[in-house]
A = this chain, B = another copy of it.
């Protein structure tokens, strides 16, 4: 009826194409996979395949070759724009290299990740990308022993023999603190996420190191930890912080928390950046959209994701290569929320 291929009552197979072309199925397979064949035969095969609208069957090919052309991405928190961006980048790289992306949502519990690793043995994906919030010994062991190649986006114990790509978030928080100090802020508070997570621990370390290095006050009342890397948890933490101290700058463990801090400040009629400067982390779109626009530490999430995807594909194409750890250096995107006091004000 349309200009579609002639016959397509049923999915066509190699056999049908072979019959129509009057050749063997082996020849069809070869031609369609670009292996040498006489021009004449190739032409016949291609025409037949075309006419039948032939499309090779993924599972049959997988069963035979062991390759699925799928890579799995395990993301703990789709509510966090950072992970969404990462997913986006991974999808792009994967598609370009001919892989489909299968999404495997897991909780933040390492058990989930380990279980996922096990289910991967079903062979529904050739490789796995994951970004665990919490890392236990068991998880590292499972990662090392995994039959399917895995690349971790995030920090791992240095002895772990696993491909990984991580941000230097200690340095990242350092950038933020130094920036604030250099624009005259002295009482720099820190709203962290959960300290029992890998990023939470690293960011706290970065904060403490930087504040100490610069000789700034580092009392306990300047520090709070949100129960989660979310807006909601951030809002509560912000309220707690502002109830117990009066900082002139606040560094936040991510942009969602920073936006929450902005909101809480606005609710208390504390002006940003005039009274308090605020810096977020991740440099997500939320930072740009915030009012005032949020200065944020760019931890290279997009680049990390792309790098990790490429690392994984590299290993898939070349299983023998030595494991590799890539560290992405942070940069600072300066916006209104941390403008120096002198130029601020209403």
Which A residues have a C-beta under 8 Å from some C-beta of B?
2, 4, 8, 11, 53, 55-60, 62-63, 68, 70, 78-79, 84, 87-88, 91-92, 95, 100-105, 118-119, 121-124, 141, 145, 147, 231, 259, 262-263, 266, 285-286, 288-291
Copies of this protein in the complex: 2
**Nearest 3 pairs between A and B by C-beta?**
A59-B62, A55-B121, A58-B124
Contact A56:B122 (CB < 8 A) given known A63-B63, A231-B285, A262-B291: yes
Complex contact A147–B102 (CB within 8 A):
no
Known: A103-B102, A289-B263, A289-B286. A57 touches B87 (CB 8 A): no
Q: Indicate if the CB atoms of B123 and A57 lie closer than 8 Å.
A: yes
CB distance from A137 to the nearest CB of B (A): 10
> Is A55 a contact partner of B101 (Cβ separation < 8 A)?
no
Cα distance A11–B88 in the bound complex, in angstroms: 32
Given the interface contacts A55-B121, A123-B57, does A100 sit within 8 Å of B102 by beta carbon? yes
> Which of chain B's residues has its CB closest to A118's CB?
B55
A-B contact pairs, 17 of them (CB 8 A): A11-B123, A53-B121, A56-B122, A57-B122, A58-B68, A59-B63, A78-B88, A84-B84, A87-B103, A91-B103, A100-B104, A101-B103, A103-B103, A231-B288, A262-B291, A263-B289, A291-B291
Q: Is the CB of A87 within 8 A of B91?
A: no
**B124, B262, B266, B289: the one within 8 Å of A259 (CB):** B289
Which among A58, A62, A91, A104 has the highest number of chain B CB atoms within 10 Å?
A: A58
